[in-house]
Amino acid sequence: CSRRGKKKKLIMEVMFQYSLILFAFSVQAHKEGNPQKLLEMNGHTAVPHSYDYDLIVIGGGSGGLAAAKEAAKYEKKVMVLDFVTPTPLGNSWGLGGTCVNVGCIPKKLMHQAALLGQALQDSRKFGWQFPEEVKHNWMTMTESVQNYIGSLNWGYRVALREKKVTYENAYGEFVQPHTVKATNKRGVEKLYTAERFLIATGERPRYLGIPGDKEYCISSDDLFSLPYCPGKTLVVGASYVALECAGFLAGLGLDVTVMVRSILLRGFDQDMANKIGEYMEEHGIKFIREFVPIKVEQIEEGTPGRLKVTAKSTKGNEVIEGEYNTVLLAIGRDACTRKIGLDKVGVKINEKTGKIPVNDMEQTNVPYIYAIGDILQDRLELTPVAIQAGRLLVQRLYGGATTKCDYVNVPTTVFTPLEYGACGYSEENAIQKFGEENIEVYHSHFWPLEWTVPSRDNNKCYAKIICNIRDNERVIGFHVLGPNAGEVTQGFAAAIKCGLTKEQLDSTIGIHPVCAEYTRPHNNFLCSSCYLSLTKN
């Protein structure tokens, strides 16, 4: 009853705000008019029914939306605040977060466009005949991709409405305990209170901090909706975002160079990372290694224009220059945690990285504030992880569940031209953790049957399995480079979850002929006699 009263009061306030546009005054009134709130400074002992919402989620990405929808299932009063701060070049997007708008979805679709380019070449070898000249139209692709994303944005809004989750396209920041201020595009501010909060604001691409970077460079936040073909492109960075983007741009026929400061795919198995790099190089992508840009200048405006990039060696004083149409920065991502008023409520962040440390229940140091997704310290930055964490968290909060999110053996795939799927330990981490003498690595090159007829890329696909000798040769790492690596890796991840051992692997019958069964390394052209057989390192 008191809750309903509260709601009514808020609505009236909102109307008041709108009608008189006496915004600041209204906020003031709201604050002062609720002395009770101030008494609850120390949070979790809150009196029930005294907040606007049971849960306010800040950030409408994969994790935040999953959590909000799950909470609504328990008939909780939930609000989602989502706001996309435009990129330095002014690009912004709809509800759904990074994955849907500027991440997994558009990148996989553009990767698919590139794969289809390869398919066109292959198809001639399989008897298809069509006129020689085939060109790619960037705008056709981008519009199709953006239309699909638009439908997803809409789908999320409908889903929230159906589940009776309140959605506001407004920037949320903490102003005092249990209270956030939501600022919309037009600068209108509102205050909302909740018993609990979930921070799921994710990350945004990092800039170099050199002359010309924000003025002239783009990031992955811009690329997928770029209203013109990027032309000759310099990709700065060696993260998976960098390599994936470089990969599909080259696959669409563009001249692509990747500038790498040190190693490729930090954190991934380096043996695999180097193989990915080699394959990309063989497929026409240029790599400039151990250089970092120090200046970007515009030579000519246009769509695309012309840019001059000056870069300096990381080893000495050598300076090089290059001319590109587009410079894409993919040097890392920063957590969106520094401008959401965490200091006002006392949520600790790692000052260096901006990430939020949480316990194994996704709880921050402030008990009523939780966090999930890419902003977490020492957790994986993956959509399905954020979704899983969000759902499980809500089930624990409102459903009496006890299951915690299991961050172990999470599979992932890098959609480079030759896809890379992985689950579990990298070889170097396994050695570090268990000791070289306690691990055994089985590996094999293989040649997908479909590649034999176009006779391309023999000996490029590769798989390896890392086993712990001390534990019955249990599989602790799985790595595969090849077509459809994501589809292949998923099931293996499930098997690893079930405690897969090398012996069980050996006794499982392959499906013939697919890549997920492996060829024998020494007679690898004989794809036909393949069976799940990997030999030791």
Partner 1 sequence: MAALWRRRRRLLGAAGLCRTARALSGKPEYDLLVIGGGSGGLACAKEAAQFGRKVAVLDYVEPSPQGTKWGLGGTCVNVGCIPKKLMHQAALLGSALKDAQHYGWNIAHPVHHNWSEMAQAVQNYVKSLNWGHRIQLQDKKVKYFNVKGSFSDPHTIRGLTKGGKETILTAEKIVIATGGRPKYPIHVAGALEYGITSDDLFWLKESPGKTLVVGASYISLECAGFLTGIGLDTTVMMRSIPLRGFDQQMASLVTEYMESYGTKFLKKCIPTKVEKLESNRLQVTWKNTDSGTEETDSFDTVMWAVGRAPDTKALNLETVGVKTNSETGKIIVDASEATSVPHIYAVGDITEGRPELTPTAIAAGKLLAQRLFGQSSELMDYDNVPTTVFTPLEYGCVGLSEEKAVQCYGSDNIEVYHAYYKPLEFTVAERDATQCYMKMVCLREREQRILGLHFIGPNAGEVIQGFALGIKCGATYPQLMKTIGIHPTCAEEITKLHITKRSGLDATVTGC
Q: Is 247 annotated as a binding residue?
A: no
Which entry of 30, 178, 512, 522 is annotated as an active-site residue? 512
Q: Which one of 2, 28, 85, 140 is in contact with partner 1 (CB under 8 A)?
A: 140
Rounded CA separation 455/479 (Å) = 24
DSSP secondary structure code for residue 509 in this structure:
P
Among 126, 215, 428, 435, binds partner 1 (CB under 8 A): 126
Rounded-to-10 torsion of CA 414, 419, 425, 427: -120
- Ligand-binding annotation for 133, yes or no, is no
Residue 43 token pair: 């949070």
Query: 145, 235, 307, 371: which one contacts partner 1 (CB under 8 A)?
Result: 145
CA angle 530, 531, 534 (to 5 degrees): 100
241 is in an annotated binding site: yes
Give the tokens for residue 519. Answer: 């060829």
CB 223 within 8 A of CB 230: yes
Cα 75 to chain center, whole Å? 30
Per CB under 8 A, 328 contacts partner 1: no
Q: How far is the CB of 144 from partner 1 (least distance, A)?
A: 5
Touching partner 1, residues 441-480 (CB under 8 A): 442, 449-450, 452-453
User: Residue 365, Cα to own-chain centre: how many angstroms?
Assistant: 25
Residues in the chain: 537
List 7, 8, 49, 125, residue binding partner 1 (CB under 8 A): 125
* 137 in contact with partner 1 (CB under 8 A): yes
Comparison of 297 and 517: residue with beta carbon closer to partner 1: 517
239 annotated as ligand-binding: yes
Say whether 10 counts as a known binding-site residue.
no
Choose among 165, 162, 55: nearest CA to 396: 55
CB of 482 to partner 1, least distance (A): 9
Q: What distance in Å separates the CA atoms of residue 433 and residue 466, rounded to the nearest whole number? A: 12
Taking CB under 8 A as the criterion, which residues in 82-121 touch partner 1? 96, 99-100, 104-105, 108-109, 112-113, 116-117, 119-120
The neighbour count for residue 302, using CB atoms within 10 Å, is 11
233-236 and 256-260 beta bridge pairing: parallel
Shortest spacing between CB 432 and partner 1, in angstroms: 23
Q: Tell which positions 396-415 bind partner 1, by CB under 8 A.
A: 406, 410-413
**Does residue 154 belong to the site contacting partner 1 (CB under 8 A)?**
no
Q: Which among 491, 489, 499, 445 is positioned nearest to 467, based on CA atoms?
A: 499
Q: What CA–CA distance (Å, rounded) separates 161 from 180?
A: 21
Question: Which positions from 478 to 517 touch partner 1 by CB under 8 A, shown as an x/- string?
Answer: ------x-xxxxxxxxxx-xxxxx--xx-xxxxxxxxxxx
- Describe the crossing of helices 138-162 and 62-73 by its angle, rounded to 10 degrees: 20
Q: Does 437 bind partner 1 (CB under 8 A)?
A: no
With CA atoms as reference, report the closest residue to 248 among 398, 85, 136.
136
Least gap, CB of 86 to partner 1 (angstroms): 23
Active site (annotated) includes residue 443: no
Burial of 420 (0-12, 13-18, 19+ CB in 10 A): buried
CB of 283 to partner 1, least distance (A): 18
CB of 137 to partner 1, least distance (A): 5
Closer residue to partner 1 in complex, CB, 350/523:
523
Q: Choose which of 92, 123, 184, 458 interacts with partner 1 (CB under 8 A).
A: 123
Q: Which residues are catalytic?
A: 512
List, as residue ranges, the binding site for NAD(+). Answer: 237-244, 332
List, as residue ranges, the binding site. Answer: 108, 172, 237-244, 332, 374
